[in-house]
Structure 1
Amino acid sequence: MAIFKSTMQNATLNPKKRKSYKAQNIHVLYLFLVPAIVLTFIFSYLPMFSNYIAFLDYDFNKGWFGFGSKFVGFDNFAKFLADPKFYTLVGRTLLYSVTMMVATFPAPLILALMLNELRGERFKRVVQTTSYIPHFVSWVTVAGLFYMFLTVDATGIINNIRQLIDPGAERISYMQDAKNFLPVLVISEVWKETGWGTILYLAALTGIDPQQYEAAQVDGASRIQRLMYITLPGLIPTMCILLIFSLSGLLATNFDQVFNLQNKMIRLDTDTIGVYTYYQGLVSGQYSYSAAVGLFQGVISFILIMLTNATTKRLSNVGII
């Protein structure tokens, strides 16, 4: 309590005294980072040691890390590369990831620009809040809603609308046809995550100096010109960071989304690398093989994020490292 009281008392100091106070008490401020560092180490870095089983013929009863299970080197990786499903899984995962990135990457930017142009603050807040609420809905719930809307039963809103327009139209079971799976992925991702991504762009928009808009308006710049020459350039750093993270996940589609939207009728035709890893590991018990597939996926993602970061840093001097 003494620390917090002292901090509040010194919050009103002039800039020079505040800077001196911060320098003297920087060790106290670093204490706030300790919980985040500990949690990150436990849940992000410590589990990385389990990747060792990718190089073993892992036996659950014998254990690992040099005891019991036989070391087989890169045999599990070779098995995955020789798997007849390898090219199908990689191609389908890339197809899903690229399509979703092309469809979903510009959506938050467009919504943020539209919200930024609104003059009614109350309406703006309502639209923003309504748009990001779906982010907090689990993919299990989202999948249930989509199955309910797309079913052939009376609750199938899409089929009801089709028959309202054309009374003789036959009811279609959309979720039992694999060709409809990718559109459902894209639509559900846009609906669920666009509002949340918009928050980042709106935060970046607040960092643009208002005097630039005032000067441009005095010079006779139109709203489109102010958008092209002030707003978009000001958002480039944020766009680059988000692009880096998007491209790094080309081989890592959202497991929760794909897994919950699948069903037995279309699973074999809609499997991605992430879902395939789950079934090989937890369902079939091939722990070493699934660990090798997951590690392969992680290494490719790491390479992609480094290459993308280097490219964006060279082109726009913006990167995460």
Structure 2
Amino acid sequence: MTPSPNPASRTGVRGWSRRRAASDDDEGPFFPPEPVPAALDEAPRRDRPAPRPRPASSDDLPAQAAPAQQRSQQQRPQHQRPRPRPGPVPGPDRQQTDTDDDAGHRRPDISRYLAAEEPKQKPAHAKEPAHAKEKKPSWLSRLRDSRGARRVTKLVITLVVAVLAALVLRNYVVAPYYIPSASMEPTLKGGGGGPDDRILVDKISYRIHDPHEGDIVVFNRPDTWKIDDKTLVKRIIGLPGDIVTLRNGLVYVNGLRLTEDYVNKACGPTPTKPLTKTSKWTVPMDDYFVMGDNRCNSDDSRMFGPIPGSKIVGHAFLRVWPLSRFGTP
């Protein structure tokens, strides 16, 4: 009688149905089947041995194992291959020396440094050859390289620039003048009766426009004026083309009487009197008729006539000294 199989072991026994069929025909002895894994397509796995440590280099491997390792390294990708370790330079005559360590690294040879000696100092009386003597710097180069020389150079340059700027300003922009006489009192004082006034003269404005009536101007003495002073200060009364007339001590320009509040009151109610027999002038083109504010003590166009416009230096626009009289004249 054939024993009934265990239902729980049908899925876990290999070849059960085949052996059962054989037992129906053959009444021989029954052998239990061998257990197999649950997954029939998975083969039994064997325990892998632990990997052997990789030797340091091919020299430590046996002669028959070294070519195999070299082949395995050549089959690896370039970035996975081990880097070659530094060793002695290959060659048939290369032998390990005292300067090589056990790994084949070259050690520096310091014997020549140990055997070196300090240079001997030459005696003081020894003479150096002519070509070995260094040229001493000249006094000019030492002066140029010194700190004090640089400061002096900067100071000199600053002074030169300041002087040039002052000359340019004085000749073309503005210049100071003093009042040489008392012909402009009380507007401008001078002539030794006290501290003389100092004024600033604008030299640019008359290059842009013509002088105006009533302006105080500084001009160079014309050749026809017989006066000791070379530079004079007067007030413009008549412009080019005007007719200036003196009548009863008053001034008329083109038939109109001038209101002159700046005239010195000490000269009386009729201060402007002719200095010659002439009392009427027609001012030529490019000329100007000028007179001083101190009419009773002024030599001006009443005596010498109008002055050329080319003789005018500039417009006196500011009184700077003394400080008690600082301001526009």
What TM-score comes out, normalization by structure 1 length?
0.18
Structure showing the higher helix proportion among its residues: 1
Structure showing the higher strand proportion among its residues: 2
- Structure number with greater Rg is 2
What TM-score comes out, normalization by structure 2 length?
0.18
